[in-house]
Amino acid sequence: MLSKLDRYTITECLPTFAVSLGVLSFVLMMPRVARLFDLVVAKGVPLYDTLTMLAYSLPAILPLLLPLSLLLSVLLAMGRMSADSEVAAMRSCGVSLAQNIRPIFLLSFVVAILTGVTSVWVQPLSEHNFREALQTSVVNGINLSAEAGTFTNLAKGVTLYAARVGEGEGTLEDIFIHSSNQPLAGAVITARKGLISSGEEGVSFDLEGVEISQIDASGQLRRTTAKESIITLPIEFTERTSLRDAEKPISTLFAEGYGELDNEDARVELHRRFALPVSCLIIGLLGASLGMHHSRSGKSRGILLALAIFFIYYALSSLGTSLGKNGKVDAGVAMWMPNFIMAALAIYAFKRKNTERPLPLEAQLFSSIARIRGLFRGGMK
């Protein structure tokens, strides 16, 4: 049963958590939003399909945004309570630091569950659905319309010119096609007439009176003629490849990482999915400890601390990923290393703050930041 103090502390964190999650999601999604809506303009992809792909892409960033939003909310809430002397009042009433941190741990546990569900199940499924939807949308959005007497970019690497529109529906006459895609890279295709269509494999041409000119590996020009020919040119995103590690379910990653394949990348991805949820518990404890005993400028310091801590965690995670995939360090050790380091820092910070001692260089660091902030404010006046 939560006490009034526990509910008060959690209530202080929740608004900041929600706002942080929304703002950070918006900021990180903007580059992908720009690329997706470019498909609406350049490829004619329906807006509904674009919004669907946008919804599929959101879970990919949630396993990182949930811990960061938690860290921001905890630091700002505890910093505000310390700046307003609420923590000092609690301590004078016999409320220990462990009791202050208990509701933070409960909140961190809930966020850890959300992160685990997203990281283990939702993210792989959404990554796969996003790639499938993107491939389908690009294929269906190929510009199959061609105006007589003009060059038309059907798709990336495929250019069409037709002198006239034929009598039959969709028929073109005196066709010129240039392809920069394999297997006809650099080829020039001419035909008396033909039809174009799109499918799973790319752009398909049903041609009559065909001649294909292409320079071979020896530098010789080769010409091939045929009365009738169906030519399919692959385009970007249409190739159906095997699942990437980010799209694979846990069972597949475990089988590949610790089975006959002995796949290092699969082991790294497997440990990453379980390490992220646990990091929420560690980050909650660290944020609560570091958020204590701030001065009146606790909010700005909380934001700075959150960014610094998350940058360090992300750098350690990237280093672990690189070491694990290269086989220099065991995948489990590499991916859990950031949690071990952050856990040690959290325990150390908790012990220092429990005895009301600041961390080494904490006062000097923030006084320097305050002076720099003052100089900027003075320069703007």
Handedness of CA 144, 145, 148, 151 (dihedral sign): negative
pLDDT at 77: 87
**Residue range(s) defining the domain that contains residue 312:** 4-138+243-371
- Global confidence as pTM: 0.71
In a domain, 144, yes or no: no
One domain, residues 256 and 128: yes
Residue 188's DSSP bridge partners are 178, 213
Q: Tell me if 270 sits within 8 A of 257, measured CB to CB.
A: yes
In a domain, 210, yes or no: yes
The three-state secondary structure class of 173 is strand
pLDDT at 205: 76
pLDDT at 43: 57
pLDDT at 364: 60
One domain, residues 364 and 220: no
One domain, residues 169 and 27: no
DSSP characters for 74-122? HHHHHHHHHHTTHHHHHHHTT--HHHHHHHHHHHHHHHHHHHHHIIIII
CATH at 164 = 2.60.450.10
In a domain, 381, yes or no: no
Along the 381 residues of the chain, how does pLDDT read in single tens digits? 678 888 888 999 999 999 999 998 988 888 878 877 776 665 556 777 778 888 888 888 899 899 999 999 998 888 888 777 787 788 788 787 788 888 999 999 999 999 999 999 999 988 888 877 776 665 555 555 555 666 766 666 677 777 777 666 667 788 888 777 667 677 788 888 887 776 656 677 788 888 888 776 676 777 878 888 887 776 654 444 557 788 888 988 888 888 877 788 899 999 999 999 999 999 998 888 887 764 555 455 667 777 888 888 989 999 999 999 888 899 999 999 999 999 999 998 888 887 777 676 565 656 665 666 566 565 555
One domain, residues 99 and 225: no
**How is residue 248 annotated by DSSP?**
S
Domain boundary (233, 264, 292) is at 233
Domain boundary (233, 256, 287) is at 233
In a domain, 304, yes or no: yes
In a domain, 378, yes or no: no
One domain, residues 367 and 255: yes
Distance of CA 292 to the CA centre of its chain: 32
In a domain, 376, yes or no: no
One domain, residues 253 and 212: no
Q: Tell me if 245 sits within 8 A of 253, measured CB to CB.
A: yes
One domain, residues 260 and 132: yes
What the block records as the tokens of 320 is 């672990």
One domain, residues 130 and 275: yes
DSSP characters for 61-75? THHHHHHHHHHHHHH
pLDDT at 260: 73
pLDDT at 67: 93
pLDDT at 303: 72
Phi, psi of 171 (to 5 degrees): -85, 135
pLDDT per residue over 145-179, tens digit each?
555 666 766 666 677 777 777 666 667 788 888 77
- Going by C-alpha positions, the residue among 125, 148, 150, 138 that lies closest to residue 203 is 138
The three-state secondary structure class of 171 is coil
Q: Total structural domains in the chain? A: 2
In a domain, 105, yes or no: yes
One domain, residues 250 and 358: yes
One domain, residues 167 and 195: yes
Domain boundary (213, 233, 253) is at 233
One domain, residues 221 and 284: no
One domain, residues 209 and 262: no
The two beta strands, 202-215 and 172-179, are unpaired
In a domain, 23, yes or no: yes
pLDDT at 239: 44
DSSP characters for 287-350? HHHHTTT--TTHHHHHHHHHHHHHHHHHHHHHHHHHHHHTTSS-HHHHHHHHHHHHHHHHHHHH
